[in-house]
Amino acid sequence: MRVYADHAATTAVHPQVIEAMLPYFRTHSGNPSSLHTAGQEAASVLADARARIAKCLNAARPEEIYFTSGGSEADNQAILSAAELGAKKDKKHIISTKFEHHAVLHTLNKLEKAGFEITLLDVPPNGVIRPEQVAEAIRPDTALVSVMFANNEIGTVQPIAEIGAVCRERGVLFHTDAVQAVGHLEVDVQAMNIDLLSLSAHKFHGPKGVGALYARRSIRLQSLIEGGAQERGKRAGTENIPGIVGMATALEWACAHREEHAAQLRVLRDKLISALSAIPHSVLNGDPDARLPGNVHFCFEGIEGESLLLLLDDAGVEASSGSACTSGSLDPSHVLLALGRPHEVAHGSLRLTLGYETTEEEVDHIIRTVPGIVAYLRSISPVWDALEKGERPYILA
């Protein structure tokens, strides 16, 4: 049995989405900038996709949606645009959090080098930022607050509406990296006072390499890619029509089935959480309730995450880890460190993310597989040996 439990990394394109995309490869292959019939057809398909995506997010108008190459580009453009707008008014302070995706953190690093002051909020032990933390950090020169909607590793869902309200009241722009949330959680940019929002199609059964940035009408975006006048001059390059149609179709489909899928996923998620919690000296990372319906994330003391992933893969379970060894860096996940997990424990992490296709049999297979592999790796681990002999204190109860 092979179980794909890495839906937070990427998802399979839904068959309906593939069907919707095919004509735009096969026959309808015009360029929206062309004046002829094929071109104008493409332009109207593009406008239609924009309107459908705007509707799913409850954006006030379709023109507030800008197509990008994915979540990373949307994050970069949102933050750099807000920084530029702030700098014009001498506001060069930005607030974000320590557990953002690197697309946000690395962009903020760049701004810091360019003279911006960056405040990264600490992450409370349950992985949920408190709106008061944001309120306390806002200063008269704050140009932007950027807080992710849901964390990609530990799956915790942030109080976005409350943070949005704080930002609106204080007159500060609010960006949210909603790459893990869109299609999985209710997202309403107007009700939640979101000014800028990033999304990526491949996280909700759309194609890879296409995403969008929502920017409230009053916000003037900075263009990262210069060239033609596509996306109203904010993103040059011939539009990825099949990808954009696929994204719109996937988002409509995901939003239509959101509650049904979430309910089904929560049952599987909680079954998995309760089974893995029985492994001694382990801990669930992140709040058990304020979390994505398909996210399970544990640390197991005394073992290292990469060897766990490789053995799980051999046993048919495809999972992920915030383990340093899987990332090419040797430091453990910045998310787990931000959560306050010591290095020793952060190295032994496992992320299992389920999708609507995940069956109970598959979850049972994971439950049958993980404890034995953890026990085996502990049996060959000198760290575990030292813990068991009392030569080293357990960190996880």
Partner 1 sequence: MLYSEKVMDHFRNPRNVGKLDNADGVGEVGNAKCGDIMKIFLKIEEGIITDVKFNTFGCGSAIAASSMATEMIKGRSVEDALTLSNRAVVEALDGLPPHKIHCSVLAEEAVRAAVKDYYDKNGIAYNPKLFKNAHECEHCHL
Ligand X SMILES: Cc1ncc(COP(=O)(O)O)c(C=O)c1O
Q: Can you give the binding site for partner 1, defined by CB under 8 A? A: 302-307, 310-311, 314, 323-325, 328-332, 342-344, 347, 380-385
Q: Which does 330 bind (CB under 5 to 8 A by kind): partner 1, ligand X, none?
A: partner 1
Q: Which does 333 bind (CB under 5 to 8 A by kind): ligand X, partner 1, none?
A: none
Residues 161-190 that bind ligand X (CB under 6 A): 177, 179-180
Is there binding between residue 96 and ligand X (CB under 6 A)? no
Instruction: Report the residue from 30, 32, 71, 305 that binds ligand X according to the rule CB under 6 A.
Output: 71
Is there binding between residue 103 and ligand X (CB under 6 A)? yes
Nearer Cβ to ligand X (70/164): 70
Is there binding between residue 369 and ligand X (CB under 6 A)? no
Nearer Cβ to partner 1 (253/384): 384
56 is catalytic: no
SS3 letters across the chain = CCEECECCCCCCCCHHHHHHHCHHHHCCCCCCCCCCHHHHHHHHHHHHHHHHHHHHHCCCCHHHEEEECCHHHHHHHHHHHHHHHHHHCCCCEEEEECCCCHHHHHHHHHHHHCCCEEEEECCCCCCCCCHHHHHHHCCCCEEEEECCCECCCCCEECCHHHHHHHHHHHCCEEEEECCCCECCECCCCCCCCCCEEEEEHHHHCCCCCCEEEEECCCCCCCCCCCCCCCHHHCCCCCCCHHHHHHHHHHHHHHHHCHHHHHHHHHHHHHHHHHHHHCCCCEEECCCCCCECCCEEEEEECCCCHHHHHHHHHHCCEECECCCHHHCCCCCCCHHHHHCCCCHHHHCCEEEEECCCCCCHHHHHHHHHHHHHHHHHHHHCCHHHHHHHCCCCCCCCC
Is there binding between residue 199 and ligand X (CB under 6 A)? no
Q: Shortest Cβ contact with ligand X: which residue?
A: 71
Residues 41-70 that bind ligand X (CB under 6 A): 70
Distance in Å, CB of 98 to partner 1, minimum: 16
Is there binding between residue 6 and ligand X (CB under 6 A)? no
Is there binding between residue 72 and ligand X (CB under 6 A)? yes
Q: How far is CA 86 from CA 44, 189, 331, in A?
A: 35, 21, 33
Q: Which does 148 bind (CB under 5 to 8 A by kind): ligand X, partner 1, none?
A: ligand X
Q: Which does 200 bind (CB under 5 to 8 A by kind): partner 1, ligand X, none?
A: ligand X
Instruction: Report the residue from 85, 148, 250, 339 that binds ligand X according to the rule CB under 6 A.
Output: 148
| 276 closest CA partner among 351, 343, 201, 166 | 351
Q: Which does 381 bind (CB under 5 to 8 A by kind): ligand X, partner 1, none?
A: partner 1
Nearer Cβ to partner 1 (217/343): 343
Give the tokens for residue 187: 């997202």
Distance in Å, CB of 71 to ligand X, minimum: 3
Nearer Cβ to partner 1 (4/384): 384
- The binding track of 289-328 with respect to ligand X, each residue x by CB under 6 A or -, is ----------------------------------------
Instruction: Give residues in contact with ligand X (CB under 6 A).
Output: 70-72, 75, 101, 103, 148, 152, 177, 179-180, 200, 211
Catalytic residue numbers read: 325
